[in-house]
Amino acid sequence: MPQKNSFDKNDLIACGNGELFGEGNARLPSDNMLMMDRVIKITEEGGKYGKGEIIAELDITPDLWFFDCHFKSDPVMPGCLGLDAMWQLIGFFLGWAGGPGRGRALGVGEVKFTGQVLPTAKKVTYRIDLKRVIKRKLFMGLGDGVVEVDGKKIYEANDLKVGLFTDTSSF
């Protein structure tokens, strides 16, 4: 059976429940912390560095949970949620690529915020270009990411790093 290259919301929820990559392996966050509605493209080739790419989307509606609390009378999506979404996607990529273990964000080189997500926006698009994928005892992905709102680039993150670990007791 060929590997899937796109995933809908039900697939992403199944991933959060441990049903997509197997028990003990990469999961997406569930409920409010799942920062995407679909993965529209995931490949092990292509992208800026030829190591793979991921494109995912989040539909924006004014009733999203974070608009009520960040900030009162000045609603904006927290930038850290966009950054977390990019880490989520690299972890998802590693699970999709067959990596064993649980995902953990390991860092980021540089982040730039040049815009914002307001309740009036329609769609956030995440684009990740994998720079390096290590598939040895350590299963790790390193990539660059961009967040766009309604087609306008608003965040950039370089050297996003995520690893998969079969034992997380030492964290």
Which pLDDT tens digit goes with each residue over 84-116?
999 999 999 999 999 999 999 999 999 999 999
Question: Does residue 1 surpass a pLDDT of 70?
Answer: no
Q: Among 38, 70, 123, 153, which one carries the catalytic annotation?
A: 70
Q: Is the dihedral of CA 30, 32, 35, 38 positive or negative?
A: positive
Q: Are 73 and 52 in contact (CB under 8 A)?
A: no
Element (H, E) at 85: helix 79-96
How confident is the model at residue 119, as a pLDDT? 98
Does the annotation count 70 as an active-site position? yes
pLDDT (mean) for 63-68: 97
Dig out the tokens for 157 from the structure.
């993150």
pLDDT (tens digit, 9 = 90+) per residue, 8-49? 999 999 999 999 999 999 999 999 999 999 999 999 999 999
Instruction: Tell me the percentage of the chain whose pLDDT exceeds 70.
Output: 99
Residue 106 — φ and ψ, nearest 5°?
A: -115, -5
Binned at pLDDT 50, 70 and 90, residue 170 comes out as: confident
Dig out the tokens for 36 from the structure.
């995407």
How confident is the model at residue 3, as a pLDDT? 85
Burial of 107 (0-12, 13-18, 19+ CB in 10 A): exposed
Question: Does residue 162 surpass a pLDDT of 60?
Answer: yes
